[in-house]
Structure 1
Amino acid sequence: MSERWVACDWGTSSLRVWAMEGATALDEAHSARGMGTLAPEQFAEALDEVAPAEWSGPVIACGMVGARQGWVEAAYAAVPCPPLPDGLTRAPGAREVLIIPGLSQSDPPDVMRGEETQVAGFLALNPGWDGVLCLPGTHTKWVHVSAGEVVSFRTAMTGEMFALLSTRSVLRHSMEEGWSDEAFLAAADVTLSRPERLLSDLFALRAGALLTGAGDARARLSGLLIGAELAATRPFWLGQQVAVIGADALARSYVTALDAQGAPATQAKGDAVTLAGLTAAWRRWKGET
């Protein structure tokens, strides 16, 4: 019988765990007790709530649980390096909890936590793959992968900017729930070709809603921001093999925008690659190849 262990993806706002037998998930659980809600002494209790003692074996964890504000800091490994560098950091407490380190880059300065495990999982599912991985989210990552290593990466705060502008700025008054792919692509094309128009075109969203009653401001805001991001990250995706990790609407928006620029991207499910990456980390910890 394969050994039992627990896979753990612990981010800022949520916690996901899987009871594992080898590479097979036997059970899973979720919690809203992310790193951002916990003091260091509360992590063990939060984990036990979703992964009880009968979920035996070591816990292999990735994400913000290893941040400086997390359970225990798992030091960054500098790129270029494999997405799963040697060494896991053990959290304090009776339970064996081993945290995967994040990755860092000195020039330009950048860091990631959690995404490195998704990169490892994608490579485990797609052996020998070279190219660029896009990981959309609050802070979207663009990761250049070659010969099984992370060569370089860049982070764009596009998701956070969308959240702030759509909920905290004057644009919040125009954010209806409707969506238009046509409006999204038109806006993305504007800032991809002329990113200097971003700030002025943002206010045009509000003016357009007031003057014409247009209900596509949400799609246009997303398009303007993603278009500006694609302009800034063009050296990563232009002429490269690209894959977008994520199964939600945000990931599909990136695939759509890239396709419109003649850069077709494949799409991979986020949960699947995360679990594959955690499994790869567990196997490395055991000394398996």
Structure 2
Amino acid sequence: MTSYIAIDWGSTNLRAWRYENGECIDERRSEAGVTRLEGRTPVEVFDSVTAGWPVTSVPVVMAGMVGSNAGWLSVPYLSCPVSLGKLASQLTRVEDKAWIVPGLSVDSESNHNVMRGEETQLLGAITLAPNRVYVMPGTHSKWVVTEQDTVCDFRTVMTGELHHLLLRHSLVGAGLPPQQANERAFCEGLETGSNDSSILARLFEVRAAHVLGSRPREAVSEFLSGLLIGHEVALMSQTFPTSGGVTLIAGSSLAQRYQHAMTFAGLPVQLLDGDRAFQHGMRSIANDLAD
């Protein structure tokens, strides 16, 4: 084991961990994602978050949107198919302060896709919870197909962002009261989304149902969540070779919803915490840097 600093720097948040001899001895969080710098430079945010840490004497490895064209430095993608074992040898140095992990890309006639940050989770997952298909839900859910440590293909489903846009910026969510947890509404949406080949015609019904009094106005968010997640799982389980099940890499807030949808679809699933996968991947990269 080695001593190092790992940073997950996304669009809206930043998380940093300091390790000594493989043990995490400190953790820091910030809302200074690359789209929320509020006039500060990435260097200033980096120096603030790592203040007092030995950044000049241990490897500092960063992953996520920090390596995008909106981040600190635009780092090239690695084209799929690609072995995740190549990540450590393809890092980009930034201002003699840290290393940035490259993202992955697919660029074919039938699929144009990119990821940043998820590749590090995958590197951890192939050891902690090996599978052929991995699912990483979120604002932009990733479905990834692999062969051992090689990422062969992946697709992105904008389920989380679509839920937010419909609820906050469309007629579907206009005039609604504060939303409440409602398992029954989620399950009803899940069943509807799972069984429809297309949900486009269902979206306006989300509004119409509460206007007509058929569904509580406080449960619209839950129904919409079930509708979108159910449709995502049903569609992607037909697109990817999921007969052997999937590894779901997620935090607790989304894990239960996706597990429910996958169980409904008859899809075997094993769960891996997203932070654990990320940190294990970072450890692997840091160890390679120290060799």
**TM-score, normalization: structure 2?**
0.90
Say which of 171, 192, 195 aligns to 1:193: 195
1:1-289 matches, cutoff 5 A:
3-38=2-37, 42-56=41-55, 57-85=58-86, 86-92=89-95, 94-95=96-97, 97-107=98-108, 108-126=111-129, 129-172=130-173, 173-174=175-176, 176-196=178-198, 198-212=199-213, 214=216, 215-234=218-237, 235-236=239-240, 238-287=242-291
Q: Deviations over 1:172-230 (max 9, x none)?
A: 2346422333332332232322232x223222222221221524211110111112222
Q: Deviations over 1:109-132 (max 9, x none)?
A: 101000000011112323xx2321
Deviation for aligned residue 1:40: 10
- Distance between the aligned counterparts of 1:265 and 1:181, measured in 2? 21
- Distance between the aligned counterparts of 1:144 and 1:72, measured in 2? 28
Amino acid at match of 1:116: E
1:209/1:217 contact within 8 Å kept: yes
Deviation for aligned residue 1:105: 0.6
- Distance between the aligned counterparts of 1:253 and 1:175, measured in 2? 23
Query: Where does structure 2 lack aligned partners over 5 or more consecutive residues?
Result: none
Segment drifting more, 144-153 vs 53-62 = 53-62
2:59/2:289 contact within 8 Å kept: no
1:60/1:278 contact within 8 Å kept: yes
- Distance between the aligned counterparts of 2:177 and 2:160, measured in 1? 15
Deviation for aligned residue 1:89: 0.2
The 1:39–1:84 alpha-carbon spacing in structure 2 relative to 1, beyond 3 Å, is farther
SS of corresponding position for 2:153: strand
2:91/2:99 contact within 8 Å kept: yes
Superposed CA RMSD: 2.0
- Distance between the aligned counterparts of 1:165 and 1:175, measured in 2? 15
Report runs of 4+ in structure 1 exceeding 6 Å deviation: none
- Distance between the aligned counterparts of 1:190 and 1:49, measured in 2? 48
SS of corresponding position for 2:210: helix
**TM-score, normalization: structure 1?**
0.90
**Percent identity, aligned pairs only?**
33
- Distance between the aligned counterparts of 2:182 and 2:277, measured in 1? 29
SS of corresponding position for 1:195: coil
- Distance between the aligned counterparts of 1:281 and 1:147, measured in 2? 18
- Distance between the aligned counterparts of 2:158 and 2:145, measured in 1? 18
Deviation for aligned residue 1:41: 7.5
1:255/1:264 contact within 8 Å kept: no
- Distance between the aligned counterparts of 1:39 and 1:150, measured in 2? 36
Deviation for aligned residue 1:275: 0.7
